[in-house]
Amino acid sequence: MKRTAFTSFHEELGARMEEFCGYKMPINYEGINEEHLTVRNSVGVFDVSHMGEFWAKGPKAAAFVQKVTTNDVNALYDGKVQYSCFPNGKGGIVDDLLVYRFGPENYLLVVNAANIDKDWAWCVENAKGFGMEIGKDLINASDDTAQLAIQGPKALQAMQKLTSENVTDMEYYTFKQFDFAGIKDVIFSTTGYTGSGGCEIYVDNKDAAKLWEVVMEAGAEFGIKPIGLGARDTLRLESGFCLYGNDIDDTTSPIEAGLGWITKFVDGNDFIDRDYMAKMKEEKPAKLLKGFLMLERGIPRQHYMIEDADGNEIGEVTSGTMSPLLKQGIGMGYVKREFSKLDTEIFIRIRNKALKAKIVKTPFF
């Protein structure tokens, strides 16, 4: 089992550690609900070093990234980040990812931990078609990179103490590269998957221990706490963010998943599966991923059946939990298009009972 550069800190703090994507990772420290509310109300820090990082460089980099991702890379500028996905050539999704533009010939792709090997193989296969040299033009830096996500309404205020660069006024989904608390060339990105604001910081593994120590010290006055993967999941679901393997996968289209906003049918964006997805958008998909709120007490879980009032199956839950903020059951799932409008009454089959719910907008709070 792999260890991140921060694993020893988690162990010393008494975190409940489990295997996740081949890594020994903290699931929780004091409890998922408490950690969840810490991020919503103040600031928490996540070890996300298990994520994957690929660099695309050289004169073919922009064309390559444009081909393998659905968003419009031409809309990026230096210092801008873009949420996107890899279409798989069969109408589904290889993975969702972030694209960072450092320059016209220099891009960073940040992918999900569970899909690093699959994503790398997919990128290598497609990069070769552009004549890119693997190891020079396309580089897998996943094992050399450590990453912390500092999330919450107090996160940027806390991190401002560690740099002379203005970070509190940075726009959402932008990044800078600068010296941070004496660490050279830190990538500081106003991204994250909690819906509570904050940043993500990338460093070389050799600088990880120092990063952890200075971040925790700077955040002390704001009540910073380490947060595990359990709360990371409840936070992203409460915010209505997709999780690969649950809400999107190789069989789901970004159009079905409500990710049309990252699927850009603009001139010059001839991405893989463009024609298929354009046709689906025009004809409208038969099913759509929607958020729902439980109206009766119950906790929805992945694969639970979604029914209409007559007990007919109309969909399936992809993610569900008891919202720590709302104290209500929430979830996402694919439903037939005719049941996808806001406030539509649906039923979730939980322990042989059909419990009432309704379609709602996300985020849930």
Q: What confidence score (pLDDT) does residue 330 get?
A: 98
* pLDDT of res. 131: 98
> What is the distance in angstroms between the CA of the first residue and the CA of the last residue of the chain?
37
Determine phi and psi for 107, rounding to 5 degrees: -130, 145
Question: What CATH code is assigned to 7-49+143-238?
Answer: 3.30.1360.120
Q: Is 97 exposed, middle or buried (0-12, 13-18, 19+ CB in 10 A)?
A: buried
The DSSP string of 283-300 is H--SEEEEEEEESSS---
CA 35, 178, 206: angle at the middle one, nearest 5? Answer: 65
Angle of helix 116-128 versus helix 61-68 axis, rounded to 10 = 120
Q: What is the pLDDT of residue 215?
A: 98
In angstroms, rounded to a whole number, what is the distance separating the alpha carbons of residues 192 and 236? 9
| 172-209 CB burial, b ≥16 within 10 A, e <16 | eebbbbeebbebeebbbbbbbbbbbbbbbbbbbeebbe
Q: What is the pLDDT of residue 81?
A: 98
* pLDDT at residue number 357: 98
pLDDT at 359: 98
d(CA 119, CA 125): 10
Query: What are φ and ψ of residue 31, in 5° steps?
Result: 145, 145
- Rounded CA gap, 5 and 208, in Å? 6
pLDDT of residue 151: 98
pTM exceeds 0.75? yes
**pLDDT in the model for residue 219:** 98
Q: What's residue 340's pLDDT?
A: 98
Which listed CATH number (3.40.50.970, 2.60.40.10, 2.40.30.110, 3.40.50.150) goes with 286-360? 2.40.30.110
Q: Which residues of the chain have pLDDT under 50?
A: none
pLDDT in tens, 302-315: 999 999 999 999 99
Nearest alpha carbon to residue 288 among 253, 251, 246: 253
Per-residue model confidence (pLDDT) at position 253: 98
State the Rg of the chain over Cα.
Answer: 21
Domain ranges of the chain: 7-49+143-238, 286-360
Q: Are the CB atoms for 26 and 47 separated by under 8 Å?
A: yes
Is residue 13 a contact partner of residue 226, using CB atoms and an 8 Å limit?
A: yes
Q: In terms of DSSP bridges, do strands 305-307 and 175-180 run parallel, antiparallel, or are they unpaired? A: unpaired
